[in-house]
Amino acid sequence: MTRVSNARPEPRTVALGALLALGLAVGIAGCSASPDASNRTTAAERGGPGGPFKLVDTKGQTVTNQTLKGKPYAIFFGFTRCPDICPTTMARMAVLHKKLGTQANKMNIVFVSVDPEHDKREDIASFLSMFDAPVIGLTGDPAELKRMEKTFKIYVERVPLPNGDYTIDHTARILLFDRDGQFADTMDAKEPEDQAVRRLSRLINA
């Protein structure tokens, strides 16, 4: 698990399931001060991430897994005070969105905050305004977020800091879902740009 100092003041048959779990486990971002350590079935049937959820967007509108159906989407879990992984990932998604050209409006980008204590709707809206792409920012009841973290197989751990504040270690991979809301793949923010664009294009045209 890679952890990075929080410098900002307010910071997926058995074998396939095992591979997905490994892939998700490897993709963990740390934002705390610590050294480096690094056939269509439903998601539940194939052991992959995903499932029902009910959150709210930055305008206070309810968004559920059913709401997102109709377009494929890329979803990332993070928090607005994350000093590097989250802004880097969202900036990358903005670049990929632009590279997709006319296909871009055929998919959604979703950001879910894993820090309900700090990240209110306004904080998420302000954070996402830094990126030149339309992103659906979501938050919600802490219990609902915890349940979603479990069903989407997202690692989240709150880590106390010496100054009394806290940071959050979390899965850094982007999860990709098809237009029916079924898990399709994961994507690393460090994936070569052209390869990532091709992956998203395949998802859109599937």
pLDDT at 46: 54
Cα separations in angstroms, 109 against 1, 47, 54, 90, 168: 25, 23, 17, 9, 22
Write out the two tokens for 183: 């898990």
Domain count along the chain: 1
**Residue-number span of the structural domain to which 193 is assigned:** 2-205
Write out the two tokens for 9: 């003041």
**Residues facing 77 on adjacent strands:** 112
The enclosing domain of 34 has a CATH number of 3.40.30.10
Q: Residue 77, SS3?
A: strand
pLDDT at 198: 96
Each residue's pLDDT expressed in tens, for the chain with a length of 206 residues: 334 334 444 443 333 333 334 344 335 555 643 333 333 334 444 568 999 999 999 999 999 999 999 999 999 999 999 999 999 999 999 999 999 999 999 999 999 999 999 999 999 999 999 999 999 999 999 999 999 999 999 999 999 999 999 999 999 999 999 999 999 999 998 899 999 999 999 999 99
For residues 170 and 135, what is the distance between their CA atoms, to the nearest angstrom?
20
Residues in the chain: 206
**Residues facing 76 on adjacent strands:** 111
Q: Say how many Å lie between the first and final Cα of the chain, rounded.
A: 33
